[in-house]
Chains A and B, each alone.
Chain A
Amino acid sequence: QVQLVQSGAEVKKPGSSVKVSCKASGDTFSSFGISWVRQAPGQGLEWMGEIIPMFGTTHYVENSQGRVTITADESSNTVYMELSSLRSEDTAVYYCARDLRDDHSSFNWFDPWGQGTLVIVSS
């Protein structure tokens, strides 16, 4: 059974970057994709992007303006999400989640999820 454990909360200044980690256990890491989804305070959920370590491929939400970078370290079963040029609107809980799809779907749903990492952007 896959478990995802994320790094701890961060407080960052506007304009800086943050790198959040997500360590997977319980299954072959490279056999599935990992997505990042964020949730601003009191708001809904927004998919940010994914990595598929087996193929070394990444996909990002179309309005990310190149600020999101997702990488993977297969030796440690860890995925990283780096968000640059931080602004106050980036204050949110960031979740990693495993991608799941069936034989006929082009895209995926998410299960399980990490516990979430709160990132606060404040001067």
Chain B
Amino acid sequence: DIQMTQSPSTLSASVGDRVTITCRASQSINTWLAWYQQKPGKAPNLLIYKASSLEGGVPSRFSGSGSGTEFTLTISGLQPDDFATYYCQEYNSYSRTFGQGTKVEIK
């Protein structure tokens, strides 16, 4: 099975900060990676697919990059609405494994 490891687990930041979350796969997954945002008590919301393709309606301050085993989600200019937990998900394998999540907290 492919393992997906996110870092950090928790991130403290201020409004306006540039934030970067890393997701590492235990083996190459090409660019078959998605990113989701989840707020407490809500379902995950798709942000990015195919590592860097922005889902329609998602603000352009969100961007994704990477290929192979290392990927990043960047939020350029953190907004109050962005404090949430973020998950990566690989879709290179049958198991469609998620990372363990990164919680972005207010500093």
CB-defined interface of B55-99 with A at 8 Å, one 1/0 digit per residue? 100000000000000000000000000000001010111111111
Which of B11-19, B20-28, B43-51 forms part of the interface with chain A?
B43-51
Report chain B residues within 8 Å CB of A123: none
- Among residues of A, the one whose C-beta sits closest to the C-beta of B32 is A105
Does A108 reach chain B (CB closer than 8 Å)?
Answer: yes
Report chain A residues within 8 Å CB of B101: 44-45
Given A61-B95, A101-B91, A44 and B100 touching (CB < 8 A)? yes
Given A110-B46, A113-B45, A115-B43, A105 and B91 touching (CB < 8 A)? yes
- Report the Cα distance A105→B34, complex, angstroms: 12
- Report the Cα distance A112→B32, complex, angstroms: 18
Interface size on B, residues (CB 8 A): 24
Contact residues of A between 99 and 121, Cβ < 8 Å to B? 100-102, 105-116
B98 to chain A, nearest CB (A): 4
Interfacial residues, chain B to chain A (CB-CB below 8 A)? 32, 34, 36, 42-46, 49-50, 55, 87, 89, 91-101
Apart from A45-B44, A59-B94, 7 more pairs, CB < 8 Å: A35-B96, A107-B94, A108-B91, A108-B96, A111-B49, A112-B43, A116-B42
